[in-house]
């Protein structure tokens, strides 16, 4: 057996402790699988006294993780501190500069600085591994680069944020409003005290940008992702979705269009009979469409110490075996240059819910606005009559261009009989 792979771990929160526990529990099997043991030689974290439930034994402790990345006698530095900038970034840069491989679970860092880090790593001949940064329990980066690597992909999409999926699942099952369910999720530890990163779609957008980079072999362009969160999803819309044969999911979708690369995160109505409609609670899922494989679906836990540690150690095993596929699937010099396909050029069907005064002529005004923009309707739902009162009217369009849809919506929103801003949810054909 070859000598052990020497590892330094920066950050010892739940994931860092999970990695240590995993190596302690499965180290013998791992050594057989990759032909050499994994050996944690150093740990960099602040509070040495804290009980993390793992024996640190002879591991060298650094209070300064950045110094550890520079000085430790390790071939790999595992960055588990988090954050797009600051110390996490400096640790990765320092490790690469000293010719050490880097494994990270940091999606914000990858989404914002992944391309620059990948160039630096390639120049130094070291690996930059990030399986744990996207949907921890799903080995999707490996699947895109290797398992499905014989394919050209046209689209990749998925449920990339467990908190949002949990909230939407509970809302659908109980009929409760967003704010209530969020508060409960916070109590259960499924949502952060500051929930914006999750419920406003940013976390999903980080992951989507990373997936798009590796799926299409292109620079990571987080700034080009169109992002909407789930705060505006209401029980009424969830009810209508059921009636129309859909479920509402927060999806991240990246696809190649005639205009370039389209990247978007927003609530979607997905047909109830598709596999992704049944991915519930905190689970994540990713679907890839390839030109030979067709579509392949991957589902698993997106977060948590165990699944994330599983992904981190899988990366370490690749490094231990000497497997070094290019960071984004192809060498950095071969990255595809893809223009951004703007949201105004997006084509798709739309669900629109209006709150209108129930009086003659309202529907005529609404449908005239749609007709003038060449938006054709697939169906309209208006139940019961309450003359003079506010009633919901639901419209489902045929596929149309987002720019035309937006013009029609502005006109509809301005109608005196339309009492609230139109609620719009894109319908996704999967």
Nearest alpha carbon to residue 140 among 288, 255, 312, 293: 288
Nearer to a second copy, 276 or 375 (CB): 276
Q: How far apart are CA 286 and CA 297, in angstroms?
A: 6
CB of 22 to a second copy, least distance (A): 5
Helix (H, G, I), strand (E, B) or coil at 274: coil
* Bridging pattern class, strands 76-79 and 5-10: parallel
Q: Is 210 near a second copy (CB under 8 A)?
A: no
Q: Does 4 bind a second copy (CB under 8 A)?
A: no
In the list 82, 271, 306, 399, the residue contacting a second copy (rule: CB under 8 A) is: 306
Q: Select from 2, 32, 347, 359 the one that contacts a second copy (CB under 8 A).
A: 32
170 is a contact residue toward a second copy (CB under 8 A)? no
Contact code string over 226-265 relative to a second copy, x by CB under 8 A: ----------------------------------------
Smallest distance from a second copy to CB 399, Å: 25
Decide: is 165 part of the binding site for a second copy (CB under 8 A): no
Q: How far is the CB of 149 from a second copy (least distance, A)?
A: 5
Bridge partners for 395 per DSSP:
352, 380
Considering only 309, 338, 366, 409, the residue that binds a second copy (CB under 8 A) is 309
Between 233 and 282, name the residue whose CB sits nearer to a second copy. 282
**219 contributes a contact to a second copy by CB under 8 A:** no
Distance between CA 298 and CA 304 in Å, rounded?
Answer: 17
Identity of the residue, 82 or 149, whose beta carbon is nearer to a second copy in the bound complex: 149
Looking at the Cβ atoms of 18 and 114, the one nearer to a second copy is: 18
* Residue 149 found at the interface with a second copy (CB under 8 A): yes
Cβ partners under 8 Å of residue 54, min gap 6? 17, 20, 21, 24
Helix (H) or strand (E) holding 430: none
Using a 10 angstrom Cβ sphere, with 0-12 exposed, 13-18 middle and 19 or more buried, the burial of residue 39 is middle
Rounded Cα–Cα distance for residues 59 and 409 (Å):
61
Query: Does 281 interact with a second copy (rule: CB under 8 A)?
Result: no
d(CA 176, CA 5): 50
- From 180, 223, 239, 273, residue interacting with a second copy (rule: CB under 8 A): 273
Which strands sit side by side in the sheet containing 38-44, from one edge to the other? 60-62, 38-44, 5-10, 76-79, 101-104, 128-129
Give strand pairing partners of 356: 391, 418
Alpha helices in 156-201 (DSSP H): 162-174, 178-188, 196-199
User: Mask 105-144, x = binds a second copy (CB under 8 A)?
Assistant: --------------------------x-----xxx--xx-
Q: How many residues bind a second copy (CB under 8 A)?
A: 62
Q: How far is residue 366's CA from residue 370's CA, in Å, rounded to a whole number?
A: 7
The residue (of 310 and 397) whose beta carbon lies closer to a second copy is 310
Q: Which of 89, 107, 142, 207 is catalytic?
A: 207
Q: Is 207 a catalytic residue?
A: yes
Nearer to a second copy, 27 or 235 (CB): 27
Residue selected from 99, 175, 245, 275 as contacting a second copy according to rule CB under 8 A? 275
* Closest by CA position to 254, among listed 327, 340, 329, 333: 340
DSSP 405-424: HHHHHHHHHTSTTB-SPPEE
Catalytic residues, by residue number, are 207
Q: Which residues bind a second copy (CB under 8 A)?
A: 18, 22, 25-26, 29-30, 32-35, 131, 137-139, 142-143, 145-152, 217, 273, 275, 277-280, 290-301, 304, 306-307, 309-310, 313-314, 316-318, 321-323, 325-326, 329-331, 334
């Amino acid at each position: 057996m070859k000598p052990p792979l020497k590892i330094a771990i920066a950050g010892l929160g739940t994931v860092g402790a999970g990695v240590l526990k995993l190596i302690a529990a499965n180290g013998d099997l791992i050594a057989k699988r990759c032909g050499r043991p994994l050996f944690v030689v150093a740990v960099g974290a602040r509070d040495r006294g804290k009980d993390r439930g793992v024996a640190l034994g002879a591991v060298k402790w650094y209070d300064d993780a950045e110094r550890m990345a520079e000085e430790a006698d390790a071939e790999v530095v595992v960055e588990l501190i988090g954050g797009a900038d600051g110390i996490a970034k400096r640790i990765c840069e320092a490790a690469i500069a000293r010719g050490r491989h880097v494994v990270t679970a940091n999606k914000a860092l990858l989404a914002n600085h992944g391309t620059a880090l990948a160039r630096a790593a390639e120049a130094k001949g070291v690996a930059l591994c990030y399986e744990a940064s996207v949907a921890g329990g799903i080995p999707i980066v490996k699947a895109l680069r290797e398992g499905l690597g014989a394919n050209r992909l046209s689209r990749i999409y998925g449920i990339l944020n467990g908190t949002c999926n949990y909230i939407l699942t509970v809302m659908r099952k109980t009929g409760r409003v967003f704010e209530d369910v969020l508060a409960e999720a916070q109590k259960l530890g499924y949502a952060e005290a500051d929930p914006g990163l999750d419920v406003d779609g940013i976390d999903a957008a980080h992951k989507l940008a990373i997936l798009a980079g590796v799926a299409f072999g292109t620079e990571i362009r987080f700034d080009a992702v169109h992002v909407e969160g789930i705060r505006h999803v209401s029980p009424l819309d969830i009810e209508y979705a059921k009636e129309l044969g859909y479920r509402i999911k927060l999806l991240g979708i990246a696809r190649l269009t005639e205009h370039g690369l389209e990247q978007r995160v927003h609530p979607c109505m997905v047909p109830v009979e598709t596999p992704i409609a049944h991915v519930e609670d905190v689970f994540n899922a990713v679907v890839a469409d390839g030109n030979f494989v067709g579509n392949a679906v991957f589902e698993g836990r997106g977060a948590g110490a165990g699944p994330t540690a599983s992904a981190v150690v899988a990366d370490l095993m690749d490094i231990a075996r000497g497997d070094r596929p290019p960071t984004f699937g192809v060498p950095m010099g071969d990255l595809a240059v893809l223009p951004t396909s703007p949201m105004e050029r997006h084509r798709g069907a739309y669900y629109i819910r209006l709150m209108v005064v129930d009086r003659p002529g309202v529907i005529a005004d609404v449908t005239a606005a749609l007709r003038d923009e060449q938006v054709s309707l697939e169906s309209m739902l208006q139940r019961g009559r309450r003359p003079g009162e506010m009633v919901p009217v639901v419209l489902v369009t045929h596929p149309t261009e987002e720019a035309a849809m937006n013009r029609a919506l502005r006109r509809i929103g301005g109608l005196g009989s339309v009492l609230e801003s139109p609620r719009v949810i894109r319908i996704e054909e999967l």
